Structure formats: structure tokens, C-alpha cells
Amino acid sequence: MMKIWLKPAGIKLNYSDKIKEFIELVEKLIPPGNLSGRALALLLLTEDKCVESYISDCCGEVILNQLQYIVQEYRDENASSIEIYLENLYHKEAAIIANQVLKIEPPTRNPFILTFGDWCTKLSTGIPIALAVTALIYLFVGTFAATFLVDSINTMLFENILIPWITKYAQLIPSEFFRDMLIDPDFGVLPTGVFLALGLVLPVIFCFYIAFGILEDSGYLPRLSILLDRVFRKIGLNGKGVIPLVMGFSCITMALLTTRMLNSEKEKNIASFLIFLCMPCAPLIAVMLVILDKMPFSATATVFGIIFLQIFIAGYLANRIVPGPRSSFIMEIPVMRLPKLWSVITMAAKKSHHFMKEAVPVFIYASIAIFIFQRIGGLEMLERYVGPAIHKVLGLPEQSIQVFIKTMIRRESGAAELEHLHDTYTNLQLVVNLLVMTFIAPCINAIIVLFKERGVKSASIIMGLVIVYAFLLGSVVNYTCLSFGITFS
């Protein structure tokens, strides 16, 4: 196992005396510019035509001819090629640097760990191990991070300290519009931008990077990818695609980020589509279970059965539709070992900091845009005109538009609104609404990351397909259940 430490090299290559003299001459003759004199001299020695043209333009043909004459003299005096000389010099210096920063640890000799690594790739033992690992990851990232840790941070830090303190001092702002833009609980910049990013995304992202780092550092991920490669090829992915899809059950935003590990654009688009369409995040699952607990088990089986079925159906269809080649699955299998926990935690902290540095400004801009849209009556107009269409297509109460609007902001917020309005729903309507909430576009954070990761064109296509598919599936489930008299009562 290799450990790598990065530091500025500060290397000065030891060129021959003749080359050093030529570099000094070029630095004197050519005025300072975008390219250093040393770089120009070395490129001249290799007879680079672009550099020759550059010197001709800035210094004239006379200077260029003089330098070319010296270069030709050097090349005539040396039997070996200057290109070969420089290449050997660079390779030698690179080897010296590599030896300074690389430390190779001997592989583990623990027989149980080595045997366990072999079990992970065999079908008979690999599947149970994969299920156990998935359950542990879900408990850590989904239950501990996305539920306990997020709730604890939001309750103790934001709800008990920051929100009351900021609300108190925000009253000093004379403009009601700007005061609400800052602290409005549903659309304000702090609650739906900064606090949502720091209180919801950051804990989950950090815990995910820890879990993922353990799997990566231990050497388990390559074995899991090999185990599931054949299955995932049916849905347009290879074995690497298992990680983003599994992580979608904890946090959609984080799962979209993990699609970076996939090699081709086709695989990234299919994985993003499946995550966006089929995956209920951990907070949504928690609220869903609260709602379904009051209903017959058949409702729970229907909701989660359809969710898992859609992963394979949608993936199979996407594999046939999305253009582009699927990348070859080539992966080095490292020796299985116990992970270095401190290194994993340190790297998780660095990755989390890098993500938040990029994401928080985007979340703030999006919160401002949504707040302004709400204040100019955009959300009210949607409720007035889209509500009747929802009732006609999905058979849901017109108040469902409130649920969907809050779902787009934060999924568990929409589920909580559904729980608040459940007295106005029948059990069938609750099942339909839960399915549509799962399949419709996730929270605003995930939408922002989707556009950031996949680009405007691909993200817009995924968004459009997911929204249409969600309402189409909800309508099919509603009218199919009505036709067969299924009410989940």
C-alpha cells in the first residue's frame, strides 16, 4: 500500500555546462514575457517551431538566426539526441522525487484478512458480505449521519442557538423584504441555504467520506465492483456503479457527487438518472416509515417494491436509449487490509471542506432566487393552476401542491407536510403521493449539484424525464388500484 505526501519540489535540474551557457544567453537576449528564458532555451534546443516563430515575432529574424546557429553547433557536437538527453534527465529526477515522497508498506500477512478478501469476490460468500456491508453503511451514513447527527445538530445548534439569536438581531433590519429574505423559515437564505448546507449536507457528506474511505483503504471496493459487474452491465453500468446507487439511499446530493468515479459520460448520465429517479434519501425514508406504519403492510410492500423494481426497469431502458459507449471494466485488486482510521478521517475532512467551499455559495444564490419567485407570486400561481391538474391526473387533493413544493426544497419537509395533511388523504392517495415524492426531482440541493456535475443539457433532460415519469407512474398506480378496488384500508 502506497502513502503519498505532496510538497513543493523546488528542484533545479543539473544540465550540462553547454546547455547552462545557452540558457543564460537566451535569458539575456529575449526580454521577459509569459515564457521563461529557460523554457524558451530548452524548446529551441529541440527545434520547436512554435517557439522559433515566437522569438522571430518578438526579437526579429537576426536574433533567431543566431540562436539557431548555436543550437545547430550543439547538435553537431553531440552524437546523442538532445531530446533523449533531456528525457533521461527528467526521468532520473522524477525517480529521485518519487523515492522521497513514496513509502511502500509491506502487504498484510494476516491469513483471515487475505481469506476474507477472496470471499468478497465469490458469488456464494460475496453476496452475503455485500448485504452486510451495505447495511452497515446505511446504519452509519443513513441512520447515524442523516438522521441522528443531522437532527442533533439542527436541534442543539440551529434551532436552540443560532436561529433564535439571528432572528432576534434580524429584527433590527428595517426592510421587511430583506429581513424575510434572510430568516424566512421556508425560503430564507439562512434556513434553506447556509443552515441546510451546514446542518444537513455537511454531516452526511463527512460521514459518507469516512465510510467510503474505509471501503477504499481496506481494498473492499474493487472486490465489490467485480462481484456486481455482470448485474450492473444490464443497466448500462459496470461494477463501479454500485457505490453511487447504494449511497443514494442516504443522500441524493452526495450520491450524485460519487458519479465522478464512473469513466464514461453514458455511465455518469445513467447513474445520475437512476439516483434522481429512484432513490429515497434516508430522511425521506424515515418519514415515509412513520406514515406507512399507520397503514397495512401491503402499502409498505407496494411502495418499496415499486421503488426497487424501477431501478432495474429504468436502468434497462436508459441503457438502450442513452448514447455512448460503456467503458471497459479494468481494475487493479489491492491486497485486503485493515484501514488506517486516522488517515481516513483526515482525508474525509479535507474532501468535505473542499465540497462545502464550492457548494455553499451556490446554495445561497439558489435560495435567493426561490425567495424572490415566491414573493412575486410564482408559488401561489402554481398552487392555483397546477393543483386541479394534480387532482385530475393523480387523484390527489389540491393541497398536494404544497407537499410537492416543499419536497422540491427539502424532501423530508414535504413528507412532514404530507403527515400534517394526512387526514385529508385516503390510504391510496398516501401511497400515490409517497411514490411521486420519491420519483419526482429531489430537494433543491440535489438539483443544483445535478446541474453542476452533468451540465445544463444533460441535467435538463434528466429533470424533464424524471418529472414526467413520476407523474405518469403515480397516475398509473392510482387508476390501476382504483380499477382493481385496492384501497390499502
pLDDT of residue 5: 47
CB burial string 287-314: b at 16+ within 10 A, e below: bbeebbeebeeebbebbbebbeebbeeb
Closest CA to 356 of 141, 137, 138, 196: 196
pLDDT of residue 4: 46
Q: What are the sequence ranges of the domains in the chain?
A: 2-104, 114-369, 371-483
C-alpha to C-alpha distances, 219 to 130, 311, 337, 472, nearest whole angstrom:
13, 27, 7, 42
Q: What angle do CA 126, 205, 303 make, to 5 degrees?
A: 65
pLDDT of residue 413: 63
| Dihedral sign (CA 33, 35, 37, 41) | negative
Indicate the DSSP class of residue 236: T
Cα pseudo-dihedral 347, 350, 351, 357, rounded to 10: 180
Q: What is the pTM of this model?
A: 0.58
pLDDT of residue 420: 63
Judged by DSSP in three states, 45 sits in helix
Amino acid 200 reads L
Say which CATH topology domain 2-104 has: Helix Hairpins (1.10.287)
pLDDT of residue 451: 83
pLDDT of residue 402: 67
Q: Which residue has the cell 449521519?
A: 145
Would you say 314 and 274 are in contact if contact means Cβ atoms under 8 Å apart? Answer: yes
Residue-level pLDDT, tens digit, the chain, 489 residues: 444 444 555 556 778 878 888 888 888 878 777 677 788 888 888 888 888 888 888 888 888 888 888 888 877 777 667 788 888 888 888 888 777 777 766 666 778 888 888 888 888 888 899 888 878 877 787 678 767 887 788 778 877 888 788 878 877 888 778 888 887 776 677 876 777 777 767 787 788 788 878 888 888 877 887 887 888 888 888 777 777 887 777 678 778 877 877 878 888 888 888 888 777 776 677 667 767 777 888 888 888 888 888 888 888 888 888 887 777 766 677 788 888 888 889 988 988 887 777 767 767 777 777 778 778 877 677 767 777 777 778 888 776 776 777 676 666 566 666 766 677 788 888 888 888 888 876 777 777 778 878 888 888 888 888 888 888 888 998 889 888 888 887
